[in-house]
Structure 1
Amino acid sequence: MRYIVASTALIVACSIASPSLAQDAASGRTLAGQCRTCHGLDGIAQIPIAPNLAGESQIYLEKQLKAFRSGERENEMMSVVAKNLTDEQISDLSAWYASIKITATMPE
């Protein structure tokens, strides 16, 4: 009985903490075409007021896009862009930007 309860709790915890299952980074790359003016297709911001998205956590990106879509978070541009995104599109975009690998070099 303990095993069943522990297994169930683990499954529930993993499903809550993980990003949406319907993630397709290739579709996200296509969708990111509309994001490239500000955030760049490669996730490196093209304008000073836009954040870099490359390598950011998929969970974080999904949460922020959903917040813009719902109006919980507001930004003149992002509120308009996110308003018509589906959950699947948000997941795909987030998967694309999260899949970009970022490296840093320490100065000598």
Structure 2
Amino acid sequence: MKAFPLWAALLLAAPVAAQAGAATPPPQLGMCAACHGEHGIAVVPGAPNLAAQRVDYLLDAMHQYRDGRRDVAVMRAALGPLSEAQLKALATWFAAQPPASPQTEASP
């Protein structure tokens, strides 16, 4: 019986480790939560849900807001002072959150 290679075990554990790193909300979450909710479910009409989005997608979007390719002044102002590590922490947090549940229509 062959031993399971260590490199394979590390590869399999990587997604779990990334999610485990997001168990504690980042300190910068408060400014995001005002519109996007603490767990990435929007609380302001028109704000997108961020829960369960891919980390790389969220980071790319944040970079686009910061450099003006997505022209939303409030996002540029909120993200401008954040370091790359802080952006990654936020993206990791939101990516690890469960997705929004489908909304049901109100009964007549």
TM-score by length of 1: 0.68
Percent of pairs with identical residues: 32
1:1-12 equivalences under 5 Å are none
Structure-1 residue corresponding to 2:94: 97
Deviation above 6 Å: which 4+ runs of structure 1? none
8 Å CA contact retained: 2:59, 2:88? yes
Any unmatched runs of 5+ in structure 1?
1-20
Distance 1:86 1:100, change over 3 A: same
Question: How many residue pairs get matched?
Answer: 85
Residue equivalent to 2:4: none
* CA displacement at 1:101 relative to structure 2: 1.8
Question: Mind listing any 5+ residue stretches in structure 2 that lack a counterpart?
Answer: 1-17
How far residue 104 of structure 1 moved from its aligned partner, in angstroms, is 4.7
TM-score, normalised relative to structure 2:
0.68
The correspondence for 2:76, drawn from 71, 75, 79, is 79
RMSD over equivalenced CA pairs, Å = 2.3
The structure where helix makes up a greater share of residues is: 1
